[in-house]
Amino acid sequence: MKQLFYLAYWFIGARFFGRRRPLQSVIFISDRCNLSCKHCSVYNHKNPLNKTFEQIREELQYCYDQGSRFVDFEGGEPFIWEDNGRDINDLCDLAKSMGFFSCTITTNAQKPFPNSRADSIWVSLDGYGEFHEAVRGKGTFARLEQNIATCGHKALSVNMAINTLNHTAVAQTIEYVKSNPHIQSISLNFHTPFAGTEYLALDERRRHEIIDLIIDYKRKGYPIMNSIPGLKKMKDLHFKPQCWVTNFIFTDGSRKAQCIGYEQGVCDQCGFCMAGEMSGVFNLHPGTIIAGLKLRMK
């Protein structure tokens, strides 16, 4: 009940009084990773940065003071983060003790993660079988399947970033998610052409076709996290962005009030479907609001 009251307070302040305070924070705890994915602009194998527990504590406090109540820990690979005997579970406990409503971890699932204390887990799944491996490397799909099956987490979903390497596998991947008892739902996004990865972005026609395909599956009852209003907004991107809803703290400690895509000038080619969802919330689309509550209210 406390969470619902806060969400109502936050929404009224933002929607009707123009308050621009984040509700969700993404904290990159390290750029150390165990993969070298083709679409990624984050991993650092030469001189990886690894934040300390105390640094992350200070960043969490900053986010909480800004108004955020949901935190996502990202990397690099969060499950290989450690600092003086502390691991990612200690960060989840810390966030909850500070008053965050929920804590999420995004992982490539290449390392076993039993007994995770995150409220929800997002696994990066970039297609079924060989399509996933075209992006992430040989053997990654089998390890992902094994670690998902043995983690025992009840709120595990997957995220697919659709690009020129895997776009023909969207339907197959949605079907796979529905048939897998260890996966709750799938979130579908499109590759955003950050510098050096432009070749992975789909053209507008193909993007529209895939969005129509996803909407069709959604209407058939498949476990797709995206809302239909949010997906429709991602067709032409002709909507007022509300990306300040999420703030970001990167591995170098820099703090941004919105996605770094704004600075890099790629908002007109945005593939992060959360942008459509956030816009839908502010336009009071019931489907988008319900999808958001399902995602966050565990």
Q: What is the 3-state secondary structure (H, E, C) of the chain?
A: CHHHHHHHHHHHHHHHHCCCCCCEEEEECECCCCCCCCCCCCCCCCCCCECCHHHHHHHHHHHHHHCCCEEEEECCCHHHCCECCECHHHHHHHHHHHCCCEEEEEECCCCCCCCCCCCEEEEECCCCCHHHHHHHCCCHHHHHHHHHHHHCCCCEEEEEEECCCCHHHHHHHHHHHHHCCCCCCEEEEECCCCCCCHHHCCCHHHHHHHHHHHHHHHHCCCCECCCHHHHHHHHHCCCCCCHHHEEEECCCCCEECCCCHHHHCCHHHCCCCHHHHHHHHHCCCHHHHHHHHHHHCC
Exposed, middle or buried, 230 (CB in 10 Å: 0-12/13-18/19+)?
buried
Domain boundaries, the chain: 22-296
192-248 pLDDT, tens digit per residue, is 988 888 999 999 999 999 999 999 999 999 999 999 988 998 888 877 778 888 999
Residue 142: φ, ψ to 5°: -65, -40
User: In 3D, which of 197, 281, 293 has the Cα closest to residue 241?
Assistant: 281
The neighbouring-strand residues paired with 122 are 106, 157
Distance in angstroms (rounded) separating the CA atoms of residues 183 and 178: 8
Taking a C-beta distance cutoff of 8 angstroms, is the pair 194, 264 a contact? yes
Taking a C-beta distance cutoff of 8 angstroms, is the pair 147, 111 a contact? yes
pLDDT at 54 over 70: yes
pLDDT at 43 over 90: no
164-201 pLDDT, tens digit per residue, is 999 999 999 999 999 999 999 999 999 998 888 899 99
pLDDT for 105 equals 98
pTM for the full predicted model: 0.91
Q: Average the pLDDT over 44-59 and give the result.
A: 90
Taking a C-beta distance cutoff of 8 angstroms, is the pair 213, 234 a contact? no
Question: Could you give the percent of the chain with pLDDT greater than 90?
Answer: 68
Exposed, middle or buried, 171 (CB in 10 Å: 0-12/13-18/19+)?
middle
CB atoms within 10 A of CB 39: 22
Fold held by 22-296: TIM Barrel (3.20.20)
